[in-house]
Chains A and B, each alone.
Chain A
Amino acid sequence: MARLTSAAGRRLIAGIPTGWLLLLFLVPFIIVFRISFSEVRLAIPPYTPLLTFRHGSPALELHWSAYQFLFTDPLYVSSYLYSLKVAAVSTLCCLALGYPMAYAIAHAGSATRPVLLMLIVLPFWTSFLLRVYAWIGLLKNNGVINNLLMSLGVIHHPLALLQTDFAVYIGIVYSYLPFMILPLYANLEKHDAALLEAAADLGARPARAFLRITVPQSFPGIVAGSLLVFIPAVGEYVIPTLLGRTDQLMIGRVLSDEFFENRDWPVASAVAILILLLLVVPILLFQRYQRRELEGAR
């Protein structure tokens, strides 16, 4: 269509969405960045301006206090490390469960494959919040799992399952599993069976052929699926709030509490900037994958 549309038309087609995203995606980040260098004050808005006019000439006022605060208070540092740990463990669990599932779907008959894929996607269409909520009923002290185990006589006192790391892992794996399976499936489905047959002909056992051929070939799918789970999991708010520990917060909750409870906009903004710094490499990797997927599809 490059030659189909007039120059004005092309400018409009690309310009309208670009303008929208500039105003509602890029500019907001610049504002967050700016406010992270302010100091909190009791006014509307509750932060100091960046540019001040002294004796008629503008002066740039940069405050590092929000960042200083974050690096000296052990609460924030531990929240960061804890969030990274939770996201990493959950991503690995997702991969461990999702890879064999994606493999099974890719090797299913052509009639059952769409049904299996639909069953993977279906929970995604139902409310995320309600699916996380369902786990409260399962995991709490007088919840379904504990009641079942006690009536079977396996345990005599309820296990503390809710408000643990375990509950957060379960919640994240449960909510993000489709995001792991779909890119893995898209990759595994394209594999050429002839390679595996050749390996078998050369005497490789199935397990060896799987490890030496299938796994390396599916690497792009593994990376894409893992990034789709890891990046949002670092900043996850709902799952740790409903299922997680109360003595160790994740960084997304810290940001929200700083903003809503403490009304400290500069510190909340600085937390956001530091999460972004952490995630900028994974996000760029994901975008590269996404571009290749969408543009190599022809």
Chain B
Amino acid sequence: MRERRLVPRLALVLGFAFLYGPILSMIVFSFNNSRLVTVWDAAHSPTLKWYGALLHNEQILGAAWLSIRIAVVAASVAVVLGTLAGTALARLGAFRGRLLLAGMVTAPIVMPEVITGLSLLLMFVALGQLIGWPKGVGALTITLAHITFCMAYVTVVVQSRLAGFDESLEEAAMDLGARPARVFFRITLPLILPAIVSGWLLAFTLSWDDLVITQFVAGPGSSTLPMVIFSKVRFGVTPDVNALATIMVLLVATGVAISTVWMRYRERRRARDLQLAAAANL
């Protein structure tokens, strides 16, 4: 048995070193004084000067603000559309157009981004000529594009959550005389709320992070944060990007830690409620 465990364990250790090594090196070098980035200037490091430079970089701050606004709108609309699509696929049985919806909704997940980006831009251009809307490309077309690929992920998350529950709760509420809308808001929605929350976070991250599709559908004056970073790092390493990366990693790590603790708390409360209910029945 031991020989069988050794190889996987070793792979796990190596794999985690591979996954986290580059991120750690980025964090370490964000405190490096040298402009050469990867040459450690022991005499003047650690320093926070790149963090200070970041706070005064109007271009990066403006791009980050635009990215946040787009990601919030895109994630919120994607959650509504993705929840509808996930509900349709998990609960409506065999309806007309089911195969079409199922096919279209999973395709953006694997589709090479250059193709999605190109096709969306050509569609916006064609639409603009046909009906005069949208007028040029910019934040609006970026948001529309982001909604489209984000909703695919939300659909998958919501659909798999719904597939884990049978319909008896909803049917029971119906038998008790609740109207469909009421059943949805009182029964179905609370059940899939964790999926909606994680779907929103996933959509926000994907939108915040996207470069390739965004580059196609962006216009002058609508540079998102990934576009600014890409144009900076395309020609080499720049120290303030290390500082930016460190801030983003810290934010994500904090967010994940908080959500893990919250999920644990919810699970524990649920288990306690179930125990209480069982005790009350005795």
Contacts and interface: CB of A to CB of B under 8 A. Distances in A.
A31 B128 CA distance: 13
A135 B22 contact: yes
A122 B111 CA distance: 23
Interface in A124-174: 125-131, 133-138, 140, 142-144, 147, 174
B256 interface: yes
B160 A235 contact: no
B10 to A, nearest CB: 8
B108 A25 contact: yes
A97 B15 contact: yes
Interface stretch (A58-66, A67-75, A215-223, A290-298): A290-298
Nearest to A253: B114
Indicate the size class of the contact surface on chain B.
35 or more
Given A123-B20, A128-B209, A234-B112, A104 B103 contact: no
Contact of A13 (B37, B84, B164): B84
Contacts of B68: none
A297 B163 contact: yes
B81 A10 contact: no
Given A45-B125, A290-B106, A130 B91 contact: no
Contacts of B53: none
B211 A134 contact: no
A20 B74 CA distance: 14
Contacts of A241: 234
Nearest to B201: A125
A26 B38 CA distance: 46
A255 interface: yes
Interface in A102-135: 103-105, 107, 116, 118-120, 122-123, 125-131, 133-135
Contacts of B140: none
A177 B209 contact: no
A86 interface: no
A78 interface: no
Given A2-B91, A10-B92, A118-B256, A21 B115 contact: no
Given A130-B244, A237-B113, A294-B156, 8 more contacts: A14-B84, A32-B119, A32-B122, A45-B126, A104-B9, A122-B256, A129-B211, A134-B25
Interface of A: 1-6, 9-10, 13-14, 16-18, 20-29, 31-32, 35, 45, 97-98, 100-101, 103-105, 107, 116, 118-120, 122-123, 125-131, 133-138, 140, 142-144, 147, 174, 177, 206-207, 210, 227-228, 231-232, 234-238, 241-242, 252, 255-256, 259, 265, 268-269, 272, 275-276, 279, 282-283, 286-287, 290-291, 293-295, 297-298
Q: Nearest 4 CB-CB pairs, A to B?
A: A235-B112, A100-B11, A104-B8, A28-B119
